[in-house]
Amino acid sequence: MRKVLPASILVVMLGLYVALSGAVWKQQERARLEVPAGYVIPSKFSRVLALGQQGLLSDFLFLKTITFVGGRIGSGMPLSEDDWRFVEHSLDVVTDLDPYFKDPYVLTEGLLAWDAGLIAEANQLLAKGMAYRTDDWQLPFFIGFNQFYFLKDFTAATESLMVAARLPGSPSYLKTLAARIGYYGDKSKTALLFLQELVAEADDPLMRARLQKRLQVLEGSVVMEEALDRFVEDQGRNPEKLVELIETGYLEKFPVEPYGGTWIFNKEGRVFSTSRFVDGFVPQEKD
């Protein structure tokens, strides 16, 4: 009896503990999603607080950042503006702690530029990386892409691409791409060439999936733009609506728009979508 009682209490407590522990972890999981992104200690302090382990701290902070983004995206929660600011600050601190670290720059391009739309901030971070990783062609390539695709600054983009093309290990088509921007400028085909390169370079499954979705929608745009070009060349006028392309046989069917928007076009022959290629687009009633 003397042994049975403590033993049974132990068993009960163990069961209770396991249940409680599970509940606590679930609770934390929910809490982490609900809490705002929080505060990143500025690098002025964290460089000191790292106690000489700046490299390790940068690895940890980087992991924390991708876990945060992955958690939000995985649970289907869109990131708020504050969340993106948090990601931007984190990446800034990570690259202050170790400015040679490649991963945060890749994430900067994949997330800050593409998803958050913080183009200027992304380019600033990438420029910081260029000052240290002087042999890395991808950083000017990313900057050039942002200038081309988001900022529509074709002169600057061409220059950045030429910088990238001169660095060791850069693919040979960069020069062609730079020339193409100068000639065609704002066409989906150019963006597609860029994006194919980005997808080929993306190893992280999270980013890869997002980039591939973009790739799919751009491929759709290219098909549409090419059909539109042929139509304009033959008919000497723009169609009234994109459906006309199908009716006149220039296009078999509309390509899939993975973001759920409707294809539209402008007078310059650019085809894009009402979703503006952003996740979580809700199609609106036509007025």
Partner 1 sequence: MRSVVALAIITFKEGIRNRALFGIGLMALFLLGLNVSVAGFFMRDIGKVTVDMNLSALNFAGLLLVFFVAINLMAKDIDRKTIHLVLSKPISRSQYVWGKYGGILLFLSVSLAFLFLFSCLTIALLLALYPDYFGAFSWGQFVVAATFVLVKLAVLTAIVLFFSTITTSSLVTLIFSLGSYIAGVTIEEVVFYLKSDWATQERVVSESLRTVIDVLSYLLPNFTVFDFSLEAAHGLPIAFERIVLALGYAGGYSAILLLLAGFIFARREFN
Question: Which residues here bind partner 1, judged by CB under 8 A?
Answer: 44, 47-48, 51-56, 58-59, 62-63, 66, 98, 100-103, 106-107, 202-204, 207
Provide the token pair at 17. 């503990």
What is the signed CA dihedral for 206, 209, 213, 219, rounded to 10 degrees? Answer: 130
Nearer to partner 1 (CB atom), residue 66 or residue 192: 66
Nearer to partner 1 (CB atom), residue 143 or residue 271: 143
Give just the sign of the alpha carbon dihedral 135, 136, 142, 145.
positive
- Minimum CB separation of residue 175 from partner 1 in Å reads 25
Nearer to partner 1 (CB atom), residue 50 or residue 223: 50
Nearer to partner 1 (CB atom), residue 107 or residue 227: 107
Nearer to partner 1 (CB atom), residue 178 or residue 211: 211
- Minimum CB separation of residue 49 from partner 1 in Å reads 8
- Minimum CB separation of residue 63 from partner 1 in Å reads 6
Inter-residue contact 236 to 256 (CB < 8 Å) = no
Nearer to partner 1 (CB atom), residue 17 or residue 100: 100
- Minimum CB separation of residue 66 from partner 1 in Å reads 8
- Minimum CB separation of residue 53 from partner 1 in Å reads 5
- Minimum CB separation of residue 89 from partner 1 in Å reads 19
- Minimum CB separation of residue 196 from partner 1 in Å reads 18
Nearer to partner 1 (CB atom), residue 54 or residue 262: 54
